[in-house]
C-alpha cells in the first residue's frame, strides 16, 4: 500500500481550489477524523479530545450517520464540526459523475435532516480521490473541498503504531490539517497515536481547532 504521510507541495499547487492546510500565525493544528461515526471508537475519540480541550472536524459517511444519528448529534453538541464524506464511501476515480454526485447529495440530505442545518457542509472525498468534474459540481453547490497535508496512516493494518506517531510528529506544523480515522479498522493505531500526539503538541503550546 503506497501513500504519502506528507502531501507534496506540487500536488497542493496543482489543485489550488482545495483546502490542504490553513494559513495561521498562531500555533494551531486542525484534527480531522474520517469514516465515522463508529460506536465506541468515535465515543473514545470524543472523550480523548475533551481531555485535551481539543476541537476537531469529523467527515462522516452517510450510511454510518443514518445508523448512528445520536452519535452524530453528540459530535456537534461537544463543539466539533461535521463534514460530508459521501454516503457509501465511493472512490470518485472509479465512479461515474452521476452516481458519485448523487451519493454525496444523499449524504448531505441525511446530515441536514438529522442535524437540522441548512448550510452546505465541508466535503472530503473518500480516499482523497475525486475527478475535476465531480469537484467542480460540488463546489458550485457550495461545498468547500477539504483535503489534508498530513496523513496518519492509521488505516494501514500493516503499519507499526510507533511509526505512525513518528511520522505525524515529524510532519505536523502550524496550520496543518491531519487525517485520522474513527473506524474499527484504524482503532489500534488511532488509540496509540492520538493521545500521545495530543500530549506532545499540548506541551508545545499548540491549540486544536475545528475547521
Question: What positions carry a catalytic annotation?
Answer: 34, 181
Closest CA to 34 of 156, 126, 153: 126
**Tens digits of residue pLDDT in 25-79:** 899 999 999 999 999 999 999 999 999 999 999 999 999 999 999 999 999 999 9
Cα distance between residue 171 and residue 166, in whole Å: 9
**Tens digits of residue pLDDT in 170-180:** 999 999 999 99
Q: What is the DSSP string of 4-34?
A: -SB--HHHHHH-TTSB-B---SS-EEEEEEE
Cα distance between residue 153 and residue 159, in whole Å: 7
In words, the CATH class of domain 29-208 is alpha beta
Q: Three cell numbers at 130? A: 475525486
Q: Three cell numbers at 118? A: 441548512
**Does residue 97 have a pLDDT over 80?**
yes
Q: Three cell numbers at 169? A: 510528529
**Does residue 119 have a pLDDT over 80?**
no
From 78-87, 118-127, 144-153, 183-192, the region with the lowest mean pLDDT: 118-127
Specify the length of the chain in residues: 211
Q: 0.75 cut: is pTM over it?
A: yes
Q: Three cell numbers at 203? A: 506541551
Burial of 8 (0-12, 13-18, 19+ CB in 10 A): exposed
Q: Which pLDDT does position 116 carry in this prediction? A: 87
Could you give phi then psi for residue 178, rounded to 5 degrees?
-110, 140
Amino acid at each position: 500500500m503506497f501513500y504519502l504521510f506528507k502531501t507534496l507541495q506540487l500536488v497542493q499547487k496543482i489543485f489550488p481550489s482545495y483546502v490542504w492546510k490553513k494559513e495561521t500565525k498562531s500555533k494551531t493544528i486542525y484534527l480531522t477524523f474520517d469514516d465515522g461515526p463508529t460506536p465506541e471508537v468515535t465515543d473514545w475519540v470524543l472523550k480523548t479530545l475533551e481531555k485535551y480541550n481539543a476541537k476537531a472536524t469529523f467527515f462522516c459517511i452517510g450510511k454510518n450517520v443514518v445508523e448512528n444519528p445520536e452519535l452524530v448529534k453528540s459530535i456537534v453538541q461537544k463543539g466539533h464540526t461535521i463534514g460530508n464524506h459521501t454516503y457509501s464511501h465511493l472512490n470518485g476515480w472509479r465512479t461515474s459523475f452521476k452516481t458519485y454526485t448523487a451519493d454525496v447529495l444523499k449524504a448531505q440530505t441525511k446530515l441536514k435532516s438529522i442535524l437540522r442545518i441548512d448550510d452546505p457542509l465541508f466535503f472530503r472525498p473518500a480516499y482523497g480521490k475525486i475527478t475535476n468534474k465531480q469537484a467542480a459540481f460540488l463546489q458550485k453547490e457550495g461545498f468547500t473541498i477539504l483535503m489534508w497535508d498530513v496523513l496518519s496512516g492509521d488505516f494501514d493494518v500493516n503499519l507499526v503504531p510507533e511509526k505512525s506517531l513518528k511520522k505525524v510528529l515529524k510532519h505536523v506544523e502550524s496550520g496543518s490539517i491531519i487525517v485520522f480515522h474513527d473506524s474499527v479498522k484504524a482503532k489500534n493505531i488511532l488509540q496509540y497515536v492520538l493521545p500521545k500526539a495530543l500530549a506532545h503538541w499540548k506541551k508545545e503550546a499548540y491549540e486544536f481547532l475545528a475547521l
